[in-house]
Amino acid sequence: MHPLWIDGFVVAAYFALIIYIGLRAGRGERSMESFAIGDRNIPWWAVMASILAAEISAATFLGAPGEGYATRNFTYAQLAIGTILARFIIAGVFIKPFYDFRVVSIYQYLSLRFGAQTRNASSALFLVTRALASGTRLYVAAIVIVMTYEQITGAVLSPFQQVGVYSAALVLLTSVTALYTAAGGIKAVVWTDLIQATLMFGSLGFAIWSLLSRIPDGWSGVVSVLNGPKDFALFDLGINPSESFWQNVRSILESEYTLWAALIGSTFTTMATHGTDQDMVQRMLTAKNHQRSRFSLILSGLADMPLVLCFLLVGMLLWVHYQQQGKDAPFAFFIVNELPPGVRGILFAGIFATAMGSLSTALNALATSFTEDWYKTHIRPQATEVEVLRAARISTVVFSLILVLIGAGTAYAKIVLHARIIPIVLGIFGYTYGSLLGVFLVGLLTRRRGSERGNLCAMGAGFVVVAVLSGLHNDLWALLHPANAQGTVAAPLWKPHWLPAIEFPWRIAFGTIVTAGVAVLFKTPDSQLAVAQAHLDSVQERNAREEAGGAGATAAKTPS
């Protein structure tokens, strides 16, 4: 028996466990509120683990060590500072209103605050952006499967054969994830996320121990090799005293990992991904109340920093281990080629855990947003609770097929066409989520600013500004005009020397500022304010009735 078959049995056992837990966790679901937010009775510590599992995709599991491998320092971890700051802002501004209005899809809040057009535009932005981003990231999870296939068969796959293996791997991962997500809803997602987060942390710890044991003299050997001026660096101001003020500003905006990007850019980015993305907010709404939701969110942020540092340390240890031998995916190469059978299978399962954790989150959020914002509102407003729940499960399966197609298309574009479409699609949320965050902030921080027409204009302005500043038009131009046989690349479409090309940590910040700045110029109609107040009053009455009913039931069960 080939040693890799042992790893296959380990991975199969993991899949079986996850499916069992997912199906068992979701037993008895009879309503959309149960499917989407678990009746708001999931423990805060499980919510915290689910947030962490959703944040760390296979791209992070394999990509963050690649950053440590390339830079040999911890400057990438600076961005975690912004994720912590943003969580305190989200906890103070976002979560309580979502609980007060008792929304299932957070875009319902925008409908109540501004109107249906703002909700439709925001929900559509989320559906398209999340599908593209999640589908593209599936491609990364399949890298280790292709490496393993080549090692088992001993064959070097042609580009089209690689795409075929990638596609088969995507179908496998997505089918397993869609099975328990469609059947069990958010409860299945959260409880399987807890298992997946535990496996991920264990895999990461084992990888560090294994690499240190392979490096001569252990940690002292690592320190003796990593002795460059920027090795082990944690902070980078990105400032050069010999340059002018504007040159330093441009340098900061055009750099990915500086302290300024961590304090400002990353804060805006996390506010968008954790405050305006149904994918992440939905699991926060599963906690019993807004206080526990806030607690789980903030604690997950505090856990982010040591977790990111560990990922980067793995990459730095890999660089020392391979002694500067260039590797495209060093962590995946190490797992496939150097770990013993069985142990390698556990690390495989760790990679699949990160992929399935973020995938199940995306599928559940996409299904919830589509069902609440489109099916119940536009397609079948008179649908019964049973029909709504069925629609949510069917849409989970449909979105899983869409993500597989996007992942396979990404593999084809990357392997066969050698296209640079990956940075565009992976960074797509940077172009759109600033518009979402700007509108949400206007709605949450003001009472009478923002309107339907104003919000749509503001969201469009935010997108256009970010697209121009990030050079999206030049990226698309290069995609449509690939290099010729002599390697000559087409000149940029429009790139003035004075215009900075902002990097991804800054995109959402600029989009938010522009969107909010335009939206506040418009006034909310009094009729819309009345709609929001009426809904809030009805929710408070419903909560009071439920509390009275619960108190009555408790009194009836209490012996005299």
- Alpha-carbon distance of 365 to 108, in angstroms, equals 14
Task: Identify the CA nearest to 407 among candidates 169, 175, 158.
Answer: 169
DSSP assignment string, 105-145? STHHHHHHHT-HHHHHHHHHHHHHHHHHHHHHHHHHHTHHH
344: Cα separation from own chain's centroid: 26
Q: Which amino acid is at 293?
A: S
Share of the chain above pLDDT 90, in %: 42
89 contacts 248 by C-beta, under 8 angstroms: no
Give pLDDT tens digits for 217-262: 899 999 998 888 888 888 877 788 888 888 888 888 888 778 888 8
Give pLDDT tens digits for 45-104: 999 998 988 887 666 777 788 888 888 999 888 888 899 999 999 999 999 999 999 999
Task: Summarize the confidence of residues 336-341 as an average pLDDT.
Answer: 82
Kindly report the pTM of this predicted structure. Answer: 0.87
- Alpha-carbon distance of 436 to 431, in angstroms, equals 10
How many C-beta neighbours within 10 Å does residue 422 have? 14
Task: Summarize the confidence of residues 351-357 as an average pLDDT.
Answer: 78
pLDDT number for residue 75: 85
The single-letter DSSP state of residue 78 is G
Write out the two tokens for 372: 């609440």
**Going by C-beta distance under 8 Å and a sequence separation of 6 or more, which residues neighbour residue 449?**
442, 519, 520, 522, 523, 524
Task: Summarize the confidence of residues 113-122 as an average pLDDT.
Answer: 95
Q: Provide the β-strand partners of residue 523.
A: 449
Give pLDDT tens digits for 152-184: 677 777 888 888 888 888 898 899 899 989 988
Alpha helix (H) residue ranges in 371-471 = 385-415, 421-426, 428-445, 452-470
Put residue 522 in one of left, alpha, beta given phi > 0 → left and psi -120 to 50 → alpha: beta
309 contacts 234 by C-beta, under 8 angstroms: no
Domains of the chain: 3-26+35-426 (1.20.1730.10), 427-524 (no CATH)
The SS3 assignment for 523 reads: strand
93 contacts 340 by C-beta, under 8 angstroms: no
The single-letter DSSP state of residue 373 is I
